[in-house]
Structure 1
Amino acid sequence: MLTKWLRLFPGLPQQVAEARYFVAALMEAEGPRAVDDAVLITSELASNAVRHSRSGRQGGWFGVSVRFEDDRIRIEVIDEGGDNEPQLLDATEQQEGGRGLLMMAALAKDWGVNERLHGRSVWADLARAGA
């Protein structure tokens, strides 16, 4: 059975918290561990959308999609695109920032980036309990 939710948010830093609340409410039935993992993933992806894409510009927006499937939950953040593609950095690099995707990838069963006509989406899959 497939259930999908989508919500759009203004591309403002304070809207990242609203995105976390949205996902937490949807994930409640999956249990506290799943809620915590989903909220952390949402926080990282939404923050990156606002900070590193055109979504953070005046009048920008980002979307959060949560799709429940039989064996997984996909959290996807859609943004307005940017100059650089999200990528994992080596944890030993002496660069400020860039460790959030490493943390997100450690929690996720799988993750990836999809380029879109007018932007991009970054998604992460969580395994469902019992799957």
Structure 2
Amino acid sequence: MTGQFLAELVLPGELGSVRVARHCVKIILTAAGHQDVTDVQLVVTELVANAVQHSISGLAGGLITLDVRSIGDQLARIDVMDDGGLTVPRIRRSHTLDCSGRGLHLVAETALRWGVGDNALGGRVIWAEVLTAARAPAAAPDLAEVR
């Protein structure tokens, strides 16, 4: 496994776990010295929601496990493990009016790297590595050049 292990969260496979996962990951990474965890929270939201909606973990009694790791002080790794499912997670092509199907696209755009694999218990793991360095503030427009 890559990085320094910070925490493991085991949550019920229900949509309410998405909020809990976001909150806990923010606290864990902030306590470990990471400055900007907003992108990590977005990735956690998408990966946990997908695990609930598209895996066996979303059935009654199912569980989702998150491992939180620190790779230095500017990169976090999140592993989301579920009980597997009938489909393989992949980026879908969504149409303008679709209400879903953009989660892994967001993960791919936000994370430096991400991937999908099988875990030792017969389920799957989706992982992502996300920058946590503080972002530079957006430059204010030069009003002298705005006409």
Amino acid of the residue matched to residue 88 of structure 1?
I
The answer on 1:73 being equivalent to 2:69 is no
In structure 2, the partner of 1:118 is: 122
Preserved CA contact (<8 Å) 2:40 2:132: no
CA–CA separation in structure 2 for the residues paired with 1:72 and 1:99: 23
Amino acid of the residue matched to residue 78 of structure 1?
M
Preserved CA contact (<8 Å) 1:20 1:42: yes
List alignment gaps of at least 5 residues for structure 2: 135-147
Which secondary structure does the structure 2 equivalent of 1:30 belong to? coil
Which secondary structure does the structure 2 equivalent of 1:81 belong to? coil
List alignment gaps of at least 5 residues for structure 1: none
Identity in percent: 34
Preserved CA contact (<8 Å) 1:27 1:38: no
Preserved CA contact (<8 Å) 2:25 2:68: yes
Richer in helix (by share): 1
Q: Which has the larger radius of gyration?
A: 2
User: Given the two structures, how large is their TM-score scaled by the length of structure 1?
Assistant: 0.87
Q: How much has 1:98 moved relative to structure 2?
A: 1.3
Q: 2:110 aligns with which of 73, 91, 107?
A: 107
Preserved CA contact (<8 Å) 2:18 2:49: yes
In structure 2, the partner of 1:85 is: 88
Which secondary structure does the structure 1 equivalent of 2:88 belong to? coil
CA–CA separation in structure 2 for the residues paired with 1:84 and 1:3: 29
> Which stretch shifts more, 43-52 or 93-102?
93-102
User: How many residues are aligned here?
Assistant: 128
Q: How much has 1:39 moved relative to structure 2?
A: 0.6
> Which stretch shifts more, 94-103 or 119-128?
94-103
Amino acid of the residue matched to residue 123 of structure 1?
W
User: Given the two structures, how large is their TM-score scaled by the length of structure 2?
Assistant: 0.78
Write out the 4+ residue segments of structure 1 that deviate beyond 4 Å after TM superposition. 91-96
Preserved CA contact (<8 Å) 2:114 2:128: yes
Q: How much has 1:44 moved relative to structure 2?
A: 0.3
Richer in strand (by share): 1
In structure 2, the partner of 1:61 is: 63
